[in-house]
Structure 1
């Protein structure tokens, strides 16, 4: 587990970097100084911020028995925080271009490819960060996992070209979007908050029809996220139904037909009936 994930999740980082903002309780100072001694601190903070925090906690004792704090072995998991998030965010904010070295699935490495970064996106399906960028050499839209990026360096880029590229990429992403209307079965209206939570990672609008006492959720998502949308609909079961999206309705019908075929009376051995 990355020891600084808590800092980023609760947006403490922004306060620590602002002038005069600092953890004030003794417990927080002890915890912070202990974490600053970990190698992960070098990637979590800029050198200036790290030096400032270490200076402010110079007279604070370390957490007792910190070396004895261990975590049980478990399956490997991808962390929300990635060391490239900070430098890539700065490049995107400053409208700079980049030279990126990355590898692909077969292990091939593409060295110092010229590109223009557009956005950082977290995939709830694959549980990892992606960089959306325009390859200046191939003139192609790219989506690369941060885990596959080996190095990044920024370069100045003309402001006029940057705005034109951003508009072009926005248009591409807009064309890739799909929408679907999901209706909440009326008897499950009391579970609306649970249903909305299942779709919390998608852009959505909720409308209510008073004459029929029904809620309708309009989802907007990228085409390659349709499988994840389907998994959420299947999870909610009979609480919802797809009323607009031929693609999702067709896929749900296929799933239901296969399930019925697998569990029909004729498919069950006589000894198990």
Structure 2
């Protein structure tokens, strides 16, 4: 059996992440081969990339999906792939500027807005792609649903401009960041992988105290995602407790008091 088929040890996983290695199982390789055979694969990948992936998976046995599956009625399908993904990835890698046409919630259309895109992110919850970018005119951080972007035009930047914008953006993001530290209750140390998975969408640093056999997780998150962070902590229940982060502690106390109050408990 391939020793990398199943990995539960956090230290091994963290080392792999630091080195940039990603272990995949035989089931994942077989699934990928089946997906690359679909017509949509030609739109999602460059021809060279697609040919390389297919060559690497040549010896894998793809699952037979022709029979045994019945598709029930469903709502309108949302495609994961978006036609603007490929050009935007190139622009992000080239550290170039853009001119964007996009709409906001109330339907207002903004055209020819100067921006500096720096990240594309897919939300597993909302099943939407988001573009994170810096508005060069207003000097504000923006995140826009890719479905609301109607046009993208690359705008090369003068020498040194990209570095200056990146520095401004880093300072802006840093000013909006908050940190909190949660401690894993020792009884639940064996569930560390599950706990870390719950915080997988946040930047984190894990420390282990051998004397007390205790794990502490320091989390960094945008200020406007504090309530989302609280939902993750509530989901973990008694497995963790907040040891540093007064604002989160206060909000947890408020919600716990309100919940007890509904049952007449003072």
CA contact (8 A) 2:98 2:115 kept: yes
Greater share of residues in helix? 1
Aligned to 2:141: 141
* Aligned partner of residue 194 in structure 1, secondary structure: helix
Distance 1:153 1:125, change over 3 A: same
Aligned to 2:197: 197
Larger Rg: 1
> Partners of 1:166 and 1:184 in 2: how far apart?
36
1:17-73 C-alpha deviation (Å, 9 max, x unpaired):
xxxxxxxx9xx5x9755x22xxx4564245x669989xx9xxxxxxx997xx87323
Q: CA RMSD in A?
A: 3.2
Aligned to 2:263: 263
Distance 1:127 1:246, change over 3 A: farther
> Partners of 1:223 and 1:77 in 2: how far apart?
33
CA contact (8 A) 1:42 1:50 kept: no
1:189-246 C-alpha deviation (Å, 9 max, x unpaired):
2222221221122211111223322211111111122222111111111111111101
Aligned to 1:236: 236
Aligned to 2:83: 83
> Partners of 1:253 and 1:225 in 2: how far apart?
18
CA contact (8 A) 2:182 2:217 kept: yes
Distance 1:129 1:174, change over 3 A: farther
Distance 1:166 1:183, change over 3 A: same
* Aligned partner of residue 157 in structure 2, secondary structure: coil
Aligned to 1:114: 114
> Partners of 1:44 and 1:174 in 2: how far apart?
33
> Partners of 1:31 and 1:210 in 2: how far apart?
45
Aligned to 2:171: 171
Aligned: 1:248 with 2:236: no
The worse-fitting range, judged by mean Cα deviation, of 105-114 and 136-145 is 136-145
> Partners of 1:154 and 1:101 in 2: how far apart?
12
CA contact (8 A) 1:230 1:252 kept: yes
The worse-fitting range, judged by mean Cα deviation, of 72-81 and 172-181 is 72-81
Count of matched residue pairs: 225
Aligned to 1:12: none
Name the TM-score, length of structure 2 as normaliser: 0.72
Gaps of 5+ in 2: 1-29, 56-63
CA contact (8 A) 2:41 2:50 kept: no
> Partners of 2:131 and 2:199 in 1: how far apart?
23
Report the CA distance between 1:139 and its aligned residue.
3.3
1:151-171 C-alpha deviation (Å, 9 max, x unpaired):
111122112111110111111
> Partners of 2:190 and 2:50 in 1: how far apart?
52
> Partners of 1:32 and 1:86 in 2: how far apart?
17
The worse-fitting range, judged by mean Cα deviation, of 124-133 and 212-221 is 124-133
Aligned: 1:221 with 2:192: no
Aligned to 2:7: none
CA contact (8 A) 1:95 1:159 kept: no
